[in-house]
Structures are given as structure tokens and as C-alpha cells.
Amino acid sequence: MIQKNTKPKLIVILGPTATGKTKLAVALAYKFNGEIISADSRQVYKYLNIGAGKDLKEYKNIKYNLINIINPDKTFTLAEYKKLALKKINDIIKKNKIPFLVGGTGLYISSIIDNYDIPKIKPNKEVRSKLSKLSKSSKIKLLKKTDPECLKFLDLKNTRRVDRALEVCLNGQKFSDLRKKGKLLFDILQIGLALPREKINKNIDSRVDYMIKSGLVDETKKIIKKFSKNSAALETIGYKEILDFLDNKVETQNFVKTQNFASLQDTIKLIKIHTHQFAKRQMTWFKRDKNINWIKNKSQAEKLIRKFLD
């Protein structure tokens, strides 16, 4: 006799940016009596609305957890995310509803799916201050020396991730240790939303244009005024390019630093290019997981979920 999996069920909707995950997840959660837990490392921050792609209109019929929970100037660790996400998931299960983990931040999703044993190291202001004085290349060299294993999976273009990895390593532990898997906590269905690369890039370009028209520059200015331009949350695509634009440091199409001229058009092009590259890195991360069921439309997702919940 085959025994059924008695672990609580968790549905994961993932994929690169600009594939329509939120719209799909909201529709599925509504249909299958669920609630959503965000797995997006930018949407956790308050005030990052336009640049983080928070389409609040999509959320109106469904409870959407772990968005707008911390201020932009606060450091938010993977361990903190995992703790909050697990609590929300279990709260949803207790209500006899289906938890949907939704987003494109691979580390967030993996921390829940694989139950990572994450080093319990609090942010260290002194270490962060020292790291802020180092160049990106110097940080990567130091990381290669202290924990070469983490270079295999860490997004080296993400300054916050690199700083956090070094913070852990300089405390005497290895950041790569967070990849150690624990006992699986849930019966999991992973659904990946797949689109052709050309379509994703087109969607990204349209989204960036919409963000600019919606006031991304003014939103960035308000965050700087209320907090600081050194806020952790602004070290992300979209905001960091706008910061350079405001500081007259934007790069030209030829990637040459300009000193006395900053073009908004060049800034927009850079945001698009960097987001294209980011989406590619996201897909590289997700393709490592052979348990993801890649779909092209909502009906395919519904079929998978019905079978999973049966």
C-alpha cells in the first residue's frame, strides 16, 4: 500500500521578473481558497512601490503577505525572511487555506522549500561600514578567499547579497553553509511561469517605461529625503540607476562614466539592460531545480493544482 504524503501542502509560483506571476497567483489563490506569501526581496520594503512593481490593484481580493513590512534603511536578512514566511505559511494552513509562495527571489524560495539551516548572524554596522569602503572587485576577491563555494550561487551583481555573505564570513562562518538543507517541512508543488526570452525582455521594457511615467524618479527622491540615499533597499535595479542619474553619474550607452551630464534616456536604457540581465540570472537559478513544473498558461497551472490537492 502506497502511503500518502501527510505533510501540509504548499504551492509555489515562481519565475523571472515580468512574466505575470502576480496576476496568475492571485487568480489561482482566489480559485483554490488560498493566501499569498511574497517571495520578493524588494517588495518587503515600504515606500518601494513603483520600482518594486507592487501592483496593489491585483491584491484587492486576496490576502498578500510579507509586503511593506520594513523601512528602506533597514537590513533584512534571509534568516528573518524565512522565520516570517514560515509563520505566515503555518497561519494560513491553520485557517484551512492553501498557502501560495510567490516570487522571483530564488534564495527566499529555496530557504523555504529546502528548509535551509541559515547562520544566525545579526547585521554588524562596523563590518558594513568597512565593506562600504571597498570596491566591488575587492569584495569579490575577499569572498573568493574566505568562501569560494558561495561564488557558485551568489548573485555577485547584488551588492547587498555580497556584503551579507562577507559579513557572515568575517564572523567566522561560511555563507555557503546556508545551502545546507534541513528536513522538508511541506508537500510542495512548484509551478514556473515560462515565457520566451524575447517576450520577457519586451515586457521588461514596457514595465520600465511605465515605471518612469508613473514617477519612479520622484519616488526615489522621496525615499532619499525621508531616509537616506545609502538605504539598503535602494541598492537594487531601478533605484540605483536613478540614484546615479540624480548624482550625475549615469553611464552612457558606451558605458563611459559622464561627469557633468546625466541623461534620463540613458538611465532608462540602463535599467532595461540590467533588468534583462537580472531575468537571465533568475532563469539560470531556477533551471537548476528539476522539480519545477514549467507552464505557459493558467489552465495548465489549474490542472497541476487540482491533481496536487486531490
pLDDT digit string, tens, across residues 256-303: 444 444 689 999 999 999 999 999 999 999 999 999 999 999 999 999
Which CATH number do you get for residue 251? 1.10.287.890
User: For residue 216, what pLDDT band results from cuts at 50, 70 and 90?
Assistant: very high
**Least confident stretch, 83-92, 133-142, 268-277:** 133-142
Whole-prediction pTM? 0.86
Report helix, strand or coil for 204.
helix
Q: 188 and 113 in contact (C-beta within 8 Å)?
A: yes
> How much is the pLDDT for 85?
98
pLDDT of residue 199: 97
Do 207 and 171 share a domain, yes or no? no
Reduced to 3 states (helix: H, G, I; strand: E, B; else coil), residue 53 is coil
pLDDT value for 28:
97
Work out the average pLDDT over 87-98: 98
Evaluate if residue 134 carries a pLDDT over 90: no
Q: Which letter, b or e, does each residue of 118-145 get, where b requires 16 or more Cβ atoms within 10 Å of its Cβ?
A: bbebeeeeebeeebeeeeeeebbebbee
161 and 201 housed in the same domain: no
| Distance, first Cα to last Cα, the chain | 18
Least confident segment among 13-17, 37-41, 49-53, 229-233: 229-233
Q: Which residue has the higher pLDDT, 179 or 15?
A: 15
Check which CATH number belongs to the domain holding 135 and give it.
Answer: 1.10.20
Instruction: Tell whether 246 and 205 lie within a shared domain.
Output: yes
Share of the chain above pLDDT 70, in %: 93
Query: What number is the average pLDDT over the span 11-17?
Result: 97
- What is the span of the domain harbouring residue 133? 119-180
Give residue 279's pLDDT. 97
Q: How many domains does the chain have?
A: 2
The whole-chain average pLDDT of the chain stands at 90
Residue 146 lies in a domain: yes
Q: Is residue 30 part of a domain?
A: no
The pLDDT assigned to 4 comes to: 61
Residue 168 has pLDDT above 90, yes or no: no
Query: Phi and psi of 200, rounded to 5°?
Result: -60, -45
| Residue 158 domain-assigned (yes or no) | yes
Q: pLDDT at residue 200 above 70?
A: yes
Residue 255 reports pLDDT greater than 70? no
- pLDDT above 70: residue 254: no
pLDDT tens-digit series, residues 34-86 = 999 999 999 999 999 999 998 777 777 899 999 999 999 998 989 999 999 99
Boundary of a domain, candidates 180, 208, 230? 180
Say if 209 falls within a structural domain.
yes
Instruction: Work out the average pLDDT over 213-219.
Output: 97
Q: Which residue is associated with the grid cell 547579497?
A: 161
Could you tell me if 164 and 212 lie in one domain? no
